[in-house]
Structure 1
Amino acid sequence: MKMNKFVSFLTFAFLMSASVLGLEKNYFKGENYEQPKREISIISSDSGYYPKAPTVFVGEQVRVFVTSTTNKPTCMIVKDQEFYVEAKQGEMSEGVLYFDKSGIHEFYCPASGHKGKIVVLEHPDRKKERIRRELASERKKKVKIWRPRDE
């Protein structure tokens, strides 16, 4: 009888530990996105935008949150993109950007005269892969060596 209770206790303990480990395994697993996502917040004040130059990577879907600290009408317009968001005091406005090339993209507000830049970088892993492919595809050049002739 005692052996039967002991076996049932061990079985119960094993099942509980397996279920707990299973939950932890799924709980700590990160989400995989088809397209990387990033969120940035930009504040428009009397002195300009903050931050003036946020950084993102190529290929990321960037959700931009914009707010203002003044009663003056302000906005955010990104050159080279069809992006316009109004910034009102105490309210959060948002929009989505996507950059497929690295570089510096300017944003501004014509009403307040504020300017800023979004720095778009190539992801370091993709850059390493691109460099590795470029090196592997180089042609091997013949080295010309001058040698004196025996006469």
Structure 2
Amino acid sequence: MRPVGKDCLVAFAGNLYSVPARKVRPRQLVEVRATKSQVALHSTVPDADGETLLAAHSRAVGRGVRVVEETHWDGLPTGKGRRTTTGDVTPPPRGEPSASSHVGPLQALLDRAAVTQIEVGRRPLSVYDELTGTRPFTTNSPTKESS
């Protein structure tokens, strides 16, 4: 497993291999399947067709080589801004989808502000010490003072 860089490149064995910008997002983990002659990069989640293959490249010889298929950068801005993914792939939702995805930006801000008013339960750290079976960490340990 390797993360995708914001430049749509994946580091493997001292080299960089490209993946399609429209199918990934920065820091997304991809699976690397390598043989002596080929490096295949797979998504951890199948697409609508059930496919996971993002890219297949000939394995680079040596170290420090960039193996890039130019079509992987289609749709990206040119120049300095080129080194960012398009963001067409949205990260998987955390938990339940929020109702704010169907409302305007003002309502989304109001909803986020309401979340800050939720009361969070508090308990002493000794509860966690009991659960894990560890001794509590104390900063005031008994010491012998010599005079």
Larger radius of gyration: 1
How does the TM-score come out when normalised to structure 2? 0.22
Which structure carries more strand by proportion? 1
Task: Point out which structure has higher relative CO (alpha carbons under 8 A, 6+ apart).
Answer: 2
So what's the TM-score if we normalise by structure 1? 0.22
